[in-house]
Amino acid sequence: MIDFENERFHLRNDFFSYVIEISRGKYLFHRYWGKPLKEFRDSAPLQRIDRGFSGQLADFENERTFSLDVLPQEYPVRGRTDFRIPAYTVELENGTNISELNYASYKIFDGKPALKNLPASFGDGQTLEIELRDACGNFTVFLSYTIFADSPILARSARFVNTSGKKIKIRNAASAAIDFSDNDFEIINLYGGHAAERTIQRRKVSRGIFEISSTRGASSHQHSPFIALAGPTTDEFKGEVYAASLIYSGSFAIKVEAEQFGTTRLVIGLNPDVFSWTLEQGEEFQTPEVALNFSADGLNGLSQSFHKFYREHLMRGKFKDKVRPILVNNWEATYFDFNEEKIIALADCAKDLGLELLVLDDGWFGKRNDDNSSLGDWFVNAEKLPHGLNGLADEVHKRGLKFGLWVEPEMVNVDSELYRAHPDWILHVPNYKPSFSRHQLILDLSREDVRDYILNAMRKVFSSAQIDYIKWDMNRHMTEAFSAKLPTERQLETQHRYMLGLYEIMEKLTAEFPDILFESCSGGGGRFDAGILYYMPQTWTSDDTDAVCRLSIQTGTGLAFPIVSQGAHVSVTPNHQVGRVTPLQMRTFVAMAGTFGYELDITKMSDVEKSDVKTYVELYKEIRPTIQLGKFTRLLTGGNEYAWQFADDSRVVVMYFKILAQPAEPIRILRLAGLDADKLYTLKKYLPPKKLGVDGGPQKISFAEKSFYGDELMNFGLAAEKIETDFAAYMWVFEVQ
Ligand code: DGJ
């Protein structure tokens, strides 16, 4: 899969080619990334042009056509004639940050090395490691590229080694940089806010530097560590698109520079604004990994390969390939106001409805009756749960349900025994009072003593009862991200050290408790990133449970992340976040397009609603493998309508949503995608929308039993019966013959 010939590395599989060239024996140029090429013979050689104000390195003073400023770099540096955004900056002991990386050697080997303390892809790949040496011998950079036979994804990262004999300081170290030869792209990124995560934004690349970043110490609700550069005519089904998804959960920066000569540079990695790293002689620094993805089959092709790659080469543990239990979570049902009796009543009802897991959310520990206190005090609140977690878990299990629990181990309240005992364990700076968010402070996970406390506290909780599931929450962003334990020169390491500390804790706990299904959460989807998926195979997608908002949130999330990783729950109406009233069917279908659950007081549902829920739950159990583990395709995206298709070898499920009814609207014909033209698909179930306000009567599922060839469904399509109602949700279930 990786060749080295004529000073060029050609990484190639059935999905893409990626070519790097060594120029003049020392400079590493990026030459090609795109559809697979049989051979790279350089049909479009680099043009030799003398460009004004693009200077030469001293060795090439008289060769005015050789300037790093106009040539495509593989891992660029600033200060040696390239004025575009650099991939790295290293400050030397003499105070300068000038360096030049020269090619030294390469290695090609089978397999994919793990990254020390960092989440990273794994599997049977082939890896190219290129060694670059600073021209003055101060440090070495190893660029790592892994290509897998079954995926269009290239995994890249960089490792720095100090060879100077003195201290050096890394100010900036990107995971990857790519120079594209033109700028005819549209940037697709995922922006948002709390309870409004990952909205798709698409805009033309224009001259200047575009940045998406987080300094929040979390990948964040606001900007996702993901970017795509799509051709202007690329849509869901056709066209080329390049994407980068960082396998990291902390602050990051992605920059796109459309520069003077019409080329585009993409740089992705740690955020230099909140990072630096001191390396002593011989020490190493490893950047996070980035998953680079190329699709020639539009955005659906891109998403499908991200989903497959993350499921097969990133997610771990026994649950990664398993369908996930249908849960009921008490958060929106009770908030902090619960006791054992209420939770057992939920469990009784959950059992009756056919649900499989009861999750006890925030408020079970210390004196926590609101969000002012007790984070850090991980012992049970005996007033609420007189029989302890064990007693409650037993009751839940007796009803045939699994038992899950919420924790937020990274945080502390001032009103807690932990804070009173260890006020210096928080992230803070001298002379400033720490800032609050949700009344809480952040424990300094860069410290070993803090990590030990968290590990031991969690070990105790996780073994105190039969706990089948853990929801690991994190409800604020970092301010004053400094550590009482680090020396002055290392204070800017705190954020990254925190992440390494978090990953260490997650690694240990998930390994020690392999039977627990972990769901990550950060006020909803504030840490929904590929880094966390390495440890926890699902994440609560958003604190917004409104079905209409979720259409966009889940669509944006699905651009990069698998359906099975997205927590999605049915909640009550009027919805708690936006006050909207939507029919149960719409809420249900939207939530079914993820790891399905309920988050409302199910005991208060009417008999009619309960009967509908039973029908839906039964249906979901049947189609769950197709939805959660099948291939996902967006048939229609955005505006007033969304349509989603889930398919595996035995079944195809299609969901269609129309938010508002419109007068004189055309009949929607949905063309299915990716089916086998010659196979027969038998329509087994058809669920048309129920009208808003008449959510009544047992759910009718018509058994149509008509068969169609795949070519007809893909080319002629499926007509959505016209039903005049807002918030219409349809479902078709086909069996493959
Ligand atoms: C934020 C989460 O996203 C919610 O689901 C809930 O667990 C609360 N935290 C509890 O404090």
Cα torsion 92, 98, 100, 106: sign: positive
In the numeric block, which tokens belong to residue 353?
């409805």
Distance 514 CA to ligand 1 centre (A): 24
Helix (DSSP H) and strand (DSSP E) numbers for the chain: 12, 38
Structure tokens at 514: 């392999």
pLDDT above 90 (res 703): no
Omega cis (within 30) before 698: no
Q: Which of 406, 400, 404 is nearest to 356 (CA)?
A: 400
Residues paired with residue 641 on neighbouring β-strands, in sequence order: 658
What does each C-alpha distance from 133 to 101, 119, 144, 311 come to in angstroms?
5, 26, 14, 36
Active site residues: 473, 543
CA distance 349 to 393: 16
**What domains can be seen in the chain, in order of their start residue?**
636-736 (2.60.40.1180)
Q: State the Cα–Cα distance between residues 87 and 268, nearest whole angstrom.
A: 8
> Are the CB atoms for 670 and 654 separated by under 8 Å?
yes
Across 439-467, average pLDDT: 98
What pLDDT, in 10s, does the model give residues 413-450? 999 999 999 999 999 999 999 999 999 999 999 999 99
pLDDT of residue 724: 87
Asked if residues 142 and 153 have their Cβ atoms less than 8 Å apart, the reply is no
- Kindly state the helix (H) or strand (E) to which residue 338 belongs, with its residue range: none
Going by alpha carbons, the residue nearest to atom 2 of ligand 1 is 523
Which DSSP letter does residue 115 get?
A: B
Q: What is the pLDDT of residue 695?
A: 54
Whether residue 159 is predicted with pLDDT greater than 90 in this model: the reply is yes
Helix axis angle, 494-512 to 448-462, nearest 10° = 30
Distance between start and end Cα atoms, the chain: 37
Q: Judge residue 736's burial from the number of C-beta atoms within 10 Å of its C-beta, 0-12 exposed, 13-18 middle, 19 or more buried.
A: middle
State mean pLDDT over 327-352. Answer: 98
For position 205, what pLDDT does the model report?
98
Q: What is the pLDDT of residues 64-92, one digit of tens each?
A: 999 999 999 999 999 999 999 999 999 99
Query: Is the pLDDT confidence value at 692 over 70?
Result: no
How does pLDDT run across 100-123, given as a tens digit for each residue?
A: 999 999 999 999 999 999 999 999
Burial class (CB in 10 A: 0-12, 13-18, 19+), 579: exposed
Closest CA to 525 of 494, 496, 555, 553: 553
Averaged pLDDT of the chain: 97
Assess whether pLDDT exceeds 70 at residue 526. Answer: yes
| Arithmetic mean of pLDDT, 194-219 | 98
For the stretch 356-368, pLDDT in tens is: 999 999 999 999 9
State the CB neighbour count (10 A cutoff) for residue 181. 15
Residue 332 pLDDT > 90, yes or no? yes
Report the nearest atom of ligand 1 relative to the CA of 521.
Answer: 3
Nearest to 270 by CA among 158, 359, 433: 158
Q: What is the pLDDT of residue 702?
A: 75
What pLDDT, on the 0 to 100 scale, is given for residue 700? 63
pLDDT grade, residue 690 (50/70/90)?
A: confident
Atom in ligand 1 nearest the alpha carbon of residue 543: 3
Q: Is residue 698 over pLDDT 50?
A: no
Distance in angstroms (rounded) separating the CA atoms of residues 77 and 359:
50
Give the pLDDT confidence score for residue 75 in this predicted structure: 98
User: Which pLDDT band, with edges at 50, 70 and 90, does 705 fall under?
Assistant: confident
Residues with CB under 6 A from ligand 1: 331, 361-362, 406, 473, 475, 521, 523-524, 540, 543
pLDDT tens digits, one per residue of 614-671: 999 999 999 999 999 999 999 999 899 999 999 999 999 999 999 999 988 889 999 9
Return the closest-CA partner of residue 724 out of 663, 643, 641: 663
CA 370 to ligand 1 centroid distance, Å: 12
**Which of helix, strand or coil describes residue 591?**
helix
Given a cut of 60, whether residue 520 has pLDDT beyond it is yes
How far apart CA 318 and CA 324 sit, in angstroms, is 11
Tell me the CA distances in angstroms from 81 to 55, 61, 64, one per residue in order. 6, 12, 12
Residue pLDDT, tens place only, 574-594: 999 999 999 999 999 999 999
Identify which of 194, 362, 520 to mutate to test ligand 1's pocket (most ligand atoms within 8 A of the CB): 362
Q: Using one digit for the tens of pLDDT, what is the confidence trace for 540-561?
A: 999 999 999 999 999 999 999 9
For residue 506, CA distances in Å to 209, 270, 459, 513, 531 come to 36, 20, 12, 10, 11
H or E element at residue 520 = strand 517-520
User: In a mutational test of the pocket of ligand 1, which residue from 221, 334, 374, 473 has the highest number of ligand atoms less than 8 Å from its CB?
Assistant: 473
Rounded to an integer, the average pLDDT of 170-198 is 98
CA-closest residue to ligand 1 atom 10: 362
